[in-house]
């Protein structure tokens, strides 16, 4: 994004809110980031956020399932509601009324918008990093295997 300083500057403001001030606890915001990194097989995002997700309280079994491209089992109610919202919007470019209502009941209206904002922001970053071939730090092996589509 250094090639477009205005985009970088404006994106940074959004990123600062979504990373540090969103209405979601770190466990859920990092959950959404990992889901998005996995969808795009974005190695750098995954490398940077996988430890933060664990530190934020996301269970290792959930992180492993996401890495494998699977729907995690045994999610907490809020995690399941967020996953369903995230998954439906990815597949259908919208969500059902029931999915929306359930997500609002678990994370609030602001939380739903923050889930979508995190998804959009990290999708943009994934597109930029995949396109520009952003490397992992020296000596770090790619943490994600390619997904079968």
Domain boundaries along the sequence of the chain: 10-132
What is the C-alpha to C-alpha distance for residues 146 and 135, in angstroms, rounded to an integer? 16
* 42 neighbors 123 (Cβ within 8 angstroms): no
pLDDT (tens digit per residue) in 78-108: 999 999 999 999 999 999 999 999 999 999 9
Pick from 145, 129, 116, 147: which is nearest to 28 by CA?
Answer: 116
Look at the domain 10-132 and name its fold: AhpD-like (1.20.1290)
DSSP string covering 24-83: S-HHHHHHHHHHHHHHTT-HHHHHHHHHHHHHTT--HHHHHHHHTT-PPSS--HHHHHHH
Q: How confident is the model at residue 3 (pLDDT cuts 50, 70, 90)?
A: confident
Q: What is the pTM of this model?
A: 0.95
User: 25 Cβ partners below 8 Å, 6+ apart?
Assistant: 56, 57
pLDDT over 70 (residue 7): yes
Tell me what the mean pLDDT of segment 104-118 comes to. 98
């Amino acid at each position: 994004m250094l090639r477009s300083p205005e985009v970088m500057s404006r994106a940074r403001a959004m990123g600062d809110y979504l990373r540090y001030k969103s209405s979601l606890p770190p466990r859920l915001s990092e959950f959404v980031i990992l889901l998005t990194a996995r969808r795009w097989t974005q190695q750098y995002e995954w490398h940077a956020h996988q430890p933060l997700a664990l530190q934020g309280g996301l269970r290792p079994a959930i992180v492993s399932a996401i890495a494998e491209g699977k729907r995690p089992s045994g999610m907490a109610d809020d995690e399941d509601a967020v996953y369903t919202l995230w998954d439906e919007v990815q597949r259908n470019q919208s969500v059902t009324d029931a999915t929306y209502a359930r997500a609002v009941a678990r994370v609030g209206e602001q939380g739903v918008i923050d889930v979508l904002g995190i998804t959009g922001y990290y999708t943009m970053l994934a597109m930029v990093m995949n396109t520009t071939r952003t490397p992992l730090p020296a000596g770090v092996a790619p943490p994600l295997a390619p997904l079968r589509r």
